[in-house]
Chain A
Amino acid sequence: MEIYLFVLLAVIAIASALGMVLNKSTVNSALMLVINLVTLSGIYLLLNAQFLALIQILVYAGAIMVLFLFVIMLLNVDDEQSLFSKFRLKYFLSFLLGSVIFAQILYSIGGVTDMLPQISSDMLEIGTVEAVGDVLYTDYLFTFEMTAILLTAAVVGALMVAQYQVKKDEDSEV
């Protein structure tokens, strides 16, 4: 049962990833990426990571992709005329580099899959909200608080970068 679910989700994920890369319309690419993220969330569920599956849908497929679609709408990007126009050598080199990366990853994961520890079945149930929160708010509390600062800095930085004209504060009396 689990293998069928995995194959179904994996085929959808790979197909939507290819559809994202090979799509001329930017909006369609973004929607393909949403499908990809949702299927990845299903795969997280297969791995008993329920909390991260929910977070994946909320943060990635929800918040980040809405941001992407807003930017696409704001910039009014035209569809590309052709994906493969010129620079044949560049595409050849890209695919070559991609296959080198793929072979390298496959080679490196080939050595680790037989080194896994034997774990009991109750250790498989680790991804619940209770288990994640228990570790997150004790061992990783400092990192968690630093994340808040990071997000605040990101929002302020994005406002500064995307602002049309940074106002000079010469008028204001200090």
Chain B
Amino acid sequence: MIGIDWYLALSAILFTIGAIGVLIRRNAIVVFMCVEMMLNAVNLTLISFSAFHGDIAGQILVFFSLSVAAAEAVVGLAIIIAIFRNNLSVDITKVNLLRW
């Protein structure tokens, strides 16, 4: 079995790519997909620590994180549909109603 730092480094790289994607993209759907990828990077961290500690609790946490991610995806996409109805666009720079 290879060392845990490989898995943690991969998770860090994926998390960073997701964070930069959230910051630079304007399409709301792509921003949302980047958030999903950040969630997955954290799941990878949990699973690698769970495997290297020999403790199943981390994998149980990932299971619940997956179900919360499913619920979050459903609600988030519904919000994106509602934004599209109001603005006829998914460009998040045009959602500026509360911006000063």
Question: Which A residues have a C-beta under 8 Å from some C-beta of B?
Answer: 2-3, 6, 10, 13-14, 17-18, 20-21, 23, 26, 29-30, 33, 36-37, 40, 43-44, 47-49, 51-52, 55-56, 59-60, 63-64, 67-68, 71-72, 74-75, 77, 80, 83-84, 90-91, 93-95, 97-99, 101-102, 105-106, 109-110, 113, 116-117, 119-120, 123-124, 126-127, 131-132, 135-136, 140, 143, 147, 150-151, 153-155, 157-159, 161-162, 164
Contact = CB atoms under 8 A, between A and B. Distances in A.
Contacts of B4: 113, 116
Given A17-B37, A43-B44, A123 B54 contact: yes
Nearest to A99: B16
B19 interface: yes
Contacts of A97: 19-20, 23
Chain A interface SS verdict (over half): helix
A162 B21 CA distance: 26
A109 B37 contact: no
A164 B82 CA distance: 8
Given A26-B30, A158-B75, A21 B66 contact: no
Interface of B: 1-10, 12-21, 23-27, 29-30, 32-34, 36-37, 40, 43-44, 47-48, 50-57, 59-60, 62-64, 66-75, 77-82, 84-85, 90
Given A52-B62, A113-B3, A17 B14 contact: yes
Nearest to B67: A147
B25 A21 contact: yes
A71 B80 CA distance: 9
